[in-house]
Structure 1
Amino acid sequence: MANYLQASVNAEQLLAQDYQREDITAGVIHLGVGAFHRAHQAVYFDRLLAQPGNQHWGLIGVNIRPQDSQAFDQFVKQQGEYVLKTMAADGVTQYEHIRSIIGQIDGAQAPEEVDKAMAGANIQLVTSTVTEGGYYLDENRALMLDHPAIKGDIEGGRNTLYAFLYAGLKLRSQTSKAKITLLCCDNLRHNGELLETGLMQFLAAKQDSELAQWVEANVSFPCSMVDRITPKPSPQHMQDVQQRFGVADEMTVMGEDFIQWVVEDNFSGEKPALEQVGVQLVNKVDPFEEAKIRILNAGHTCVTYQAALKGLTYFDEAMRDDELQQYFADFVGQDAIPALGESIVDLVPYAKVIGQRFSNSNIGDTVERICSDGYAKFPIFVYPTLEAIYRQGGTPNKTIRGIASWFTFIQLTKQGKLATQYHEPSSQAVAAFTFDEAGIKAFTTDSFLWGNIPTEFPDFVSRLNEEIQTSMAKYS
């Protein structure tokens, strides 16, 4: 790709960090090289590589899903290089040539190559973005041992990140024996703790007590909070980059101009000096994590199904719809912020910034993308506000309305009445939520989604039922 860039007449418009790629060595493995990683963690490491003495923090990007192998093959052809297009709300656009992913391994095709890389003493850090549902933990943080993917991995398969971590750490414990940090970068509350909990249960299921002891002594699992709105890659942005710079980049990724990464300062091996490039290293991630999950992620989730029911295509359109704009303000002001209580984060200005980010029409983030994977999102993003308001003695009316809109969305997509498609990995669980007495009861009392709320606060069941009836009447 570098040769194309050198030939480009517009190369001066394409920013690049000041380092020579041939001087870079790998210090990090990343599992799950999707658009978000390429617009977020890879960008921070790209900046770090330009800092003196940090040339050993290059990334090895690993694909672990067979269904992503075709797209990853193009990434390999581009040697892990691509252009990041950043668009601000005022239309200011910036282009960056990202080169930090110096190695690429398709673990779905060559898993043993991932093991070898993870065993190397040069690798100090393994990061991961495999989506919320990729950790296979139930509401009690128990690993779903009956799930076909987990069962297959316990028997020696390679379906989940646990199988890759198991094999790589096993080889590492037998060869280099070097300490290592596993840093989860997904939108999970206490994500480092959850990764550790899931992995240790996986090792127990594998009956590998020796490796479990080694992990306890040599591996750390810091929590982190990541934030940058990154839409699904679009041909529109690829064409823009190709025409503007004359490069054969088919992996262009686009994101908003806001970027944040907060990491718990808990590293087993060498710690990258990410604070030099804007990462916040803190003792406790919780306040930042809670604010982001309960305002941004929950706001996205509670608004998006209503946007879909209104036939909107892009999320910024929802934030220019008077009804939905008011709903978001009410959800945050009446439910989310009161549920959070005291915080070191200044919540009102923080929520205002999020509202502005949601309104960025240049992002083009689709309602359909945000609607996906609802069954995994509601327990993580929305449930905490629901529970907190009830325990405070209130009624989370706006939250319940958002939940009801999801139920209505499920019904109307089943009936083929919406243009928005529903991509739901947990489709089997959602199939029980039918628009009849049994289906509504299954939805309003689902313990994975709502924990003990339906039994401790029966008003939740009746209020949600009322909102479902209202929503179905409004949009059917």
Structure 2
Amino acid sequence: MTRLSEVALAGLPNAVERPAYVRSAVTPGIVHLGIGAFHRAHMAAYVDSLLGADPSWGIIGASLRRPDTRDALAPQDFLYTLAVRDASGTRCRIIGSLLDVIDANADREGLLARMADPQTRIVSLTVTEKGYCHDPATGALDQNHPDIRHDLGDPANPVSAPGMLVEALARRKAAGIAPFTVMSCDNLPANGRTVRRILIALARLRDPALADWLEAGLACPSTMVDRIVPATTDADRAEISGLTGREDGWPIVTEPFTQWVIEDHFPLGRPALETVGAQLVEDVEPFELMKLRMLNGSHSSIAYLGYLAGYQHVSEAIADPGIARLIHGLMTEEVMATLPMPRADLEAYRDALLQRFANPALKHRTWQIAMDGTQKLPQRLLGTIADRLAEGLPVTRAALGVAGWMRYVTGIDEKGAPIDVRDPHAARLRSIADAAGRDATRLADGLFALEEVFGTELPQHKGFRETVTRHLDSLFAVGAAETVRKVAG
């Protein structure tokens, strides 16, 4: 079968959408760190839609850890297929906004030079929560993170995303070039303010004058991003090849729904994203909080409890009446009261989420969502819990999500088979779980002691500890499905 490429675009079936612009006329204006599936299904698709009107916003991607994406896409001129899938079928679109992918490990200098180039006006990121080298409980830079220690010792050869950003910004300062705008597209609370705080803290540790320059001129608009993007499978590749008639080294599968809310603060200019469906606003926080607590909090609860109950995919888990009632109740009875948005808007968002979760064509693995729980819990579930406890309100359903995580990180499922727990703190979690065995109180006590996850105040709340521990004891005793059924009512 012919490989996807510029030359091979001409012979695509009529049903396959392709770039509506002259790709050779596109020039790069954005560098994106962390060129994974989400970025290619989300931001790159938005940019692809506007390049016909303004070709100065092409994207140079960067792989920070592995060369997989570059190796897959370089032979096909960095084109790839975006397959949008729902119960009615799969629609394919070729995305051309990605012009190159730099492997940071093989060409770190090339990446830094591209970021320092005046042509680069925006550097965006999807490096996941752990890529910011920060304390999720406080949002502060983790100065003891091994990558940060490396970057302070050898700032010209950084390995962390914050280190690369600060080094590139230092080069721009030295050359008299204004700082590029840094735009996080990760699920962090107040992601713009968080990344700005991290970068200025790191800069101050290496050069106070650089930190002062950044404080005066660095723009980091906050964003809220939303689209479900499962990992691509071999079955996906086979289906997409059949629909396009082209071999694609790494196609992306996603849902029809997409949302992008952006704080409109770009001193060096920005693409006209509002013309292709993005929302440019003064304050992203209400949208961000809604998404983090309703979508992401529900997703994590479904992931841990669904995986333990034996469900491989989100759509299978939400088809379980108990899990469906639990998630509906979590959003309606516990999360909505913590959100500063009209009740009608929240109810409409809830109903849309439940419909998206149930999409049978989107094989979103519970195991995939369950990754990196220590980084995700604070913003997805613990914020809701802290706000409700401060008002003296119950946290029964949200606490079950936390208990589900605690049971999951024991690394042994309900049939005695191992769970592949992927987490930056996996070794510590394993040690705590091994010491506790199936004793719910010992396990909860050990995990509550992780200040980088729970902070210092939440674990002191007697009612919260008792609720989580009671749920955890039930998960050990009768399993996830029965525990969920009892809690959901």
Q: CA deviation at 1:103?
A: 2.3
CA gap of 1:18–1:345, structure 2 versus 1, over 3 A, is farther
CA gap of 1:284–1:312, structure 2 versus 1, over 3 A, is same
Distance of 2:401 and 2:42 partners within structure 1: 29
Q: Is the 8 A contact 1:287 1:343 kept in 2?
A: no
**Cross-structure match for 1:312:** 311
Q: Is the 8 A contact 1:444 1:464 kept in 2?
A: no
Higher deviation after alignment, 380-389 or 401-410:
401-410
Q: How does 1:244-323 map to 2 (within 5 A)?
A: 244-323=243-322
> Which amino acid counterpart does residue 398 of structure 2 have in structure 1?
T
Per-residue Cα deviation, 1:218-277 (whole angstroms, up to 9, x for no partner): 320000000000001222222222233232311100100000000001112112211111
**Cross-structure match for 1:130:** 127
Distance of 1:276 and 1:342 partners within structure 2: 25
State the secondary structure of the residue aligned to 1:262: strand
Q: CA deviation at 1:445?
A: 4.4
> Which amino acid counterpart does residue 70 of structure 2 have in structure 1?
F
Q: Is the 8 A contact 1:82 1:249 kept in 2?
A: yes
Q: Is the 8 A contact 1:45 1:57 kept in 2?
A: yes
Q: CA deviation at 1:210?
A: 2.6
**Cross-structure match for 2:98:** 101
TM-score, normalised with respect to structure 1: 0.94
**Cross-structure match for 1:417:** 416
Distance of 1:340 and 1:427 partners within structure 2: 32
Distance of 1:278 and 1:344 partners within structure 2: 24
Per-residue Cα deviation, 1:115-163 (whole angstroms, up to 9, x for no partner): 1111111111110000011112112232111121211121125321012
State the secondary structure of the residue aligned to 2:424: coil
> Out of 418, 439, 464, which is 2:468 matched to?
464
Q: Is the 8 A contact 1:195 1:221 kept in 2?
A: yes
Q: CA deviation at 1:417?
A: 2.2
Q: CA deviation at 1:389?
A: 1.2
TM-score, normalised with respect to structure 2: 0.91
Is the counterpart of residue 144 in structure 1 residue 142 in structure 2?
yes
Higher deviation after alignment, 413-422 or 158-167:
413-422
Distance of 1:324 and 1:364 partners within structure 2: 17
Q: Is the 8 A contact 1:81 1:101 kept in 2?
A: yes
CA gap of 1:16–1:92, structure 2 versus 1, over 3 A, is same
Distance of 2:321 and 2:411 partners within structure 1: 23
Q: How does 1:63-82 map to 2 (within 5 A)?
A: 63-65=63-65, 68-82=66-80
Distance of 1:73 and 1:371 partners within structure 2: 27
Distance of 2:365 and 2:235 partners within structure 1: 14
Q: Is the 8 A contact 2:315 2:357 kept in 1?
A: yes
> Which amino acid counterpart does residue 409 of structure 1 have in structure 2?
Y
**Cross-structure match for 1:403:** 402
**Cross-structure match for 1:362:** 361
> Out of 434, 441, 444, which is 1:440 matched to?
444
Q: Is the 8 A contact 2:448 2:459 kept in 1?
A: no
> Which amino acid counterpart does residue 289 of structure 2 have in structure 1?
E
Q: CA deviation at 1:108?
A: 1.5
Q: CA deviation at 1:286?
A: 0.6
CA RMSD between the two structures: 1.9
> Which amino acid counterpart does residue 16 of structure 1 have in structure 2?
R
Q: CA deviation at 1:399?
A: 0.8
Q: How does 1:79-228 map to 2 (within 5 A)?
A: 79-88=77-86, 90-138=87-135, 139-156=137-154, 157-175=157-175, 177-206=177-206, 208-228=207-227
> Which amino acid counterpart does residue 25 of structure 2 have in structure 1?
D
Q: CA deviation at 1:353?
A: 0.2
Higher deviation after alignment, 131-140 or 211-220:
211-220
State the secondary structure of the residue aligned to 2:101: strand
Q: CA deviation at 1:429?
A: 3.4
State the secondary structure of the residue aligned to 2:47: helix
**Cross-structure match for 1:16:** 18
Q: Is the 8 A contact 2:290 2:339 kept in 1?
A: yes
Distance of 2:461 and 2:311 partners within structure 1: 34
Q: Is the 8 A contact 2:63 2:69 kept in 1?
A: no
Is the counterpart of residue 59 in structure 1 residue 59 in structure 2?
yes
State the secondary structure of the residue aligned to 1:182: strand
Q: CA deviation at 1:342?
A: 4.4
Matched pairs, number: 468
Q: Is the 8 A contact 1:228 1:259 kept in 2?
A: yes
Per-residue Cα deviation, 1:65-87 (whole angstroms, up to 9, x for no partner): 1xx21342222222221000001
State the secondary structure of the residue aligned to 2:229: coil
> Which amino acid counterpart does residue 409 of structure 2 have in structure 1?
I
Structure 2: 5+ residue stretches without partners: 481-489
Distance of 1:228 and 1:58 partners within structure 2: 21
Percent of matched pairs sharing the same residue: 28
